[in-house]
Amino acid sequence: MSYISSREITEDGVSFLFCESEGAEGVWKEVEEMLKLYPELVESYKKLNKRIKSFSVEKLKKPKAMPYTYISLIENCLDENHNNAALDLLESFQSEYYYPPKDHIRKMMDFITDLTLDKNTGSKSYKVLQHTLHATGSIAFEAIWSFEENDLEDFWPIGYDNFWMFIKARFNSAMNTKDDQSERMLMFLEQVVNIFEIDMQIKQENFSSSILIRIIPKSVGKLRGNPKVIIDSLLTPFYSEEVSMETIRLSQRLFDQIIILSYAGYICNDSLTNEVYLQINKLGSSMMTLFLQTLLSNKFRCQLLNIALLDSDFKELKKKPVMKKLIRSPLSLEKIAKLYFYSMPYCRNLTESDAIWRHMFFLNSILQSYINTKTLSQGKIIYHGFEEEEIEMITGDLIITRVKELKKWIKKKKIEKDLKTRTEFLLDMIDTDVKEMSSIF
């Protein structure tokens, strides 16, 4: 597991402490080198150290297991169905940094989705769980999901022996129920995502002890390489045209934690990329676009679009030996500018109008995402990790000239008026992005 353990900002610039493995002595590297060689680790470090309201790893007090006398008081209330009284006790004990046992955590999470209880009980449970998470960290949630154990009675809830199928069911409930039920399911999913995000922040230098890694299906060896069931679960919201953006955001936030684990070397990144690409191609065109737009990782978006654009029409380009070499080369700004921008869309199952718009969307997205992956803003200064050949792609007129050619080509095409307008807008965005980027060199 390679990771960044610290960042230093001085008058001379930004540096990262790069560690090649857990427990290894770190080496300070300048931001430009890190963006050039390990942009995915820079991206992960930013996410794992973002501010979370009411929570700070640095200020986290050492939590203590709740004493039995306190547990007994709460259980007496629960046995008598005095749920609000039990929640009041659980909340009051947070001031002493006592974390509840897993049975109480599970009970509160059940309260959120239990439609036989009033809405206030569900909301109050959510608030107590949030307070527990922020006050004592993720330790209280460590043993909630124990799906690798043999004791079926220890599963939560009873009958669910697969966390990802359980989450898939919750996403379906959030989309297919009435407003109150949907709101409760979203509250529950929000709590689950919050647990993983905070746990990953706390354990960012040792993901092997994270809660999330324990519920990812194992394959041969330590590396997880079978993400099919995970992706199937997280793509559930994208199969509904009426899904709320809040549901989409929760799905993407959870998926982003999976991506971070893949960049840390715990999940096979190639397997993850290929499985996601395979499954998003089963979505409708608009939902595939929405998935790519809402994806939280610029680096991962680049990986998906690189596969998608390799499926373009290179018939004319393949006549040149240098282009054949570019097709097989890793993704770079040179590959984007010289190969992808000069490729043509395949229509296949799409109308010509849809195929052209989709191709231009891919071009715009991969260019934006690649630039974002290779740059880092610190105040008014923008650092970058571009190679010299890539800088030439930005400061030269290759992309700008090609955009002008594409605009003329589109004007002559007999495509739907709305799609033509949207396609021209995408090309204008590309033109603006390249000109803005060239100003930093």
**Domain holding 13: CATH number?**
2.40.50
Note the pLDDT of residue 181.
81
Asked if the model's pLDDT at residue 153 lies above 50, the reply is: no
**Domain range holding 419?**
326-438
Asked if the model's pLDDT at residue 152 lies above 60, the reply is: no
Note the pLDDT of residue 242.
87
Q: Is the peptide bond before 157 cis (omega within 30 degrees of 0)?
A: yes
Query: Quick check: 376 and 298 in contact, CB under 8 A?
Result: no
Q: 194-203, 217-226, 320-329: which range is least confident on average? A: 217-226
First-to-last C-alpha distance (Å) of the chain: 34
- Both tokens of 305, joined, read 């679009």
pLDDT tens profile 415-439: 888 999 999 999 999 999 999 999 8
- Phi/psi of residue 377, nearest 5 degrees: -95, 135
User: What value does the mean pLDDT take over residues 154-181?
Assistant: 72
**Per the domain annotation, does 397 fall within a domain?**
yes
Note the pLDDT of residue 374.
97
**Per the domain annotation, does 398 fall within a domain?**
yes
**Per the domain annotation, does 383 fall within a domain?**
yes
**Per the domain annotation, does 195 fall within a domain?**
no
Number of neighbours of residue 45 by Cβ within 10 angstroms:
22
User: What value does the mean pLDDT take over residues 82-106?
Assistant: 91
Mean model confidence pLDDT for the chain: 90
Note the pLDDT of residue 220.
55
Q: 58-72, 253-267, 289-303: which range is least confident on average? A: 58-72
Query: Quick check: 400 and 431 in contact, CB under 8 A?
Result: yes
- In sign, the C-alpha dihedral spanning 47, 276, 387, 17 is positive
- pLDDT band at residue 166, thresholds of 50, 70 and 90? confident
**Per the domain annotation, does 384 fall within a domain?**
yes
**Per the domain annotation, does 363 fall within a domain?**
yes
**Per the domain annotation, does 76 fall within a domain?**
no
Integer Cα distance of 237 and 174 in angstroms? 9
Integer Cα distance of 299 and 281 in angstroms? 19
**Per the domain annotation, does 405 fall within a domain?**
yes
Measuring CA to CA, which residue among 44, 41, 11, 43 is closest to residue 27? 41
Q: What angle do CA 438, 435, 392 make, to 5 degrees?
A: 40
Q: What angle do CA 405, 409, 410 make, to 5 degrees?
A: 120
Integer Cα distance of 187 and 153 in angstroms? 26
- pLDDT band at residue 221, thresholds of 50, 70 and 90? low
User: How many Å is the Cα radius of gyration of the chain?
Assistant: 25
Integer Cα distance of 248 and 176 in angstroms? 14
Note the pLDDT of residue 128.
95
User: What HEC string does the chain produce?
Assistant: CCEEEEEEEECCEEEEEEECCCCCCCEEEEHHHHHHHCHHHHHHHHHHCCCECCECCCCCCCCEECCHHHHHHHHHHHHCCCHHHHHHHHHHHHHHCEECCHHHHHHHHHHHHCCCCCHHHHHHHHHHHHHHHHHHCCHHHCCCCCCCCCCHHHCCCCCCCCHHHHHHHHHHHHHHCCHHHHHHHHHHHHHHHHHHHHHHHHCCCCHHHCHHHHCCCCCCCCCECCCHHHHHHHCHHHHCCCCCHHHHHHHHHHHHHHHHHHHCCCECHHHHHHHHHHHHCCCCHHHHHHHHHHCCCHHHHHHHHHHHHCCCECCCHHHCHHHHHHHHCCCCHHHHHHCHHHCECCCCCCCHHHHHHHHHHHHHHHHHHHHHHCEEEECCEEEECCCHHHHHHHHCCHHHHHHHHHHHHHHHCCCCHHHHHHHHHHHHHHHHHHHHHHCCC
* Percent of the chain whose predicted confidence (pLDDT) is above 90: 66
- pLDDT band at residue 274, thresholds of 50, 70 and 90? very high
Integer Cα distance of 407 and 424 in angstroms? 7
Q: How many distinct structural domains can be found in the chain?
A: 2
